[in-house]
Structure 1
Amino acid sequence: MEWLVLVGRLLFAVLFLGSGAGHLTQTQMMAGYAQSKGVPWARASVLGSGVLIVVGALMVLLGVWADLGALLLVVFLVPTAVLMHGFWGITDPQSRQMEQTQFLKDLALAGAALMLFAFFATSPDLGLTLTDPLFDGLFD
């Protein structure tokens, strides 16, 4: 079962590692998009969120305080859903549908990250991690 959990962590983390790399290597383009969505301090927000998701994804993938890593991903995903994918303010049906899909994807990933947090913080079978969870025993 340990290997199955490890593969699941890899599959989950790869999305965030790719996205984080994009934040850090295509900062100017992403900052322009973020600015068009009304994100304050767009460049700093893109760089900060890039670091946040890379660190969170690596923590989940490597099993280094993976519970904290999962929470870092939630901290990225929920505001991103609201700030970047506010479908409720779009009148064009095609654009609205696209943003609604992205909004719901981010919320679904946030839910998965919360489940990972609970799993890591409470399960004895963590799937080949480098450290114990940071929040170990908090929910006993």
Structure 2
Amino acid sequence: MDILVLVGRILFAALFLGSAFNHLVHTSGMTAYTASRGVPAAKLATLVSGVVLLLGGLSVLLGIWADLGALLLFIFLIPTAVLMHAFWKEGGSESRQVEMIMFQKDLALAGAALMLFAFFSFAGSDLGLTITGPLFNIS
């Protein structure tokens, strides 16, 4: 089971680490997109979200307080779904559909992150192939 969880952590974290890279390396383009969605303090939001993505992704990937990392990703995903993918504000049917898919993707990933938070917190140190045990203990 440890190997399956490790492979799952790698696959899950890859998406967030790639996004963190884009936020932190392509900041101007990401800031322009964030501003176009009406997010206040777009540059700060882009940088802070990039750091949250990086910390959360690395935490889950490496198994360093993986429960905290999953919680950080959950906290990132909910406002991102609402602020960045507000499909109900879109005028055209094609753009509405694309934003609805992105909104639903973010909600599904938030659900997965929340389940990972519970899983890591509950499994505790019984879960192998991690560097540390969980920060939280929900039993």
**Bin for the TM-score computed over the shorter chain:** over 0.9
Match of 2:13 in 1: 13
Match of 1:46 in 2: 46
What's the TM-score, normalizing by structure 2? Answer: 0.97
The size of the alignment, in residue pairs, is: 138
Q: CA deviation at 1:16?
A: 0.3
CA distance in 2, matches of 1:35, 1:9: 31
Contact 1:65 1:131 in 2 (8 A): yes
Residues in 2 aligned to 1:58 and 1:106: alpha-carbon distance in whole angstroms: 19
List alignment gaps of at least 5 residues for structure 1: none
Unaligned runs of 5+ in 2: none
* Aligned counterpart, 1:134: 135
Alignment of 1:1-140 (within 5 A): 1-124=1-124, 125-136=126-137, 139-140=138-139
Deviations 1:5-34 (A, max 9, x none): 000000000000000000001100110111
TM-score (norm 1): 0.96
Moved over 6 A (4+): none
CA separation in 2, counterparts of 1:127 and 1:16? 22
CA contact (8 A) 1:4 1:127 kept: no
Residue identity in the other structure for 2:3: W
- Give distance in 1, aligned partners of 2:128 and 2:42: 37
TM-superposition CA deviations, 1:18-54 (whole Å, max 9, x none): 0000000110011011111110100010010000011
Of 120-129 and 61-70, the range deviating more from structure 2: 120-129
What do you get for the CA RMSD once the two structures are aligned?
0.8
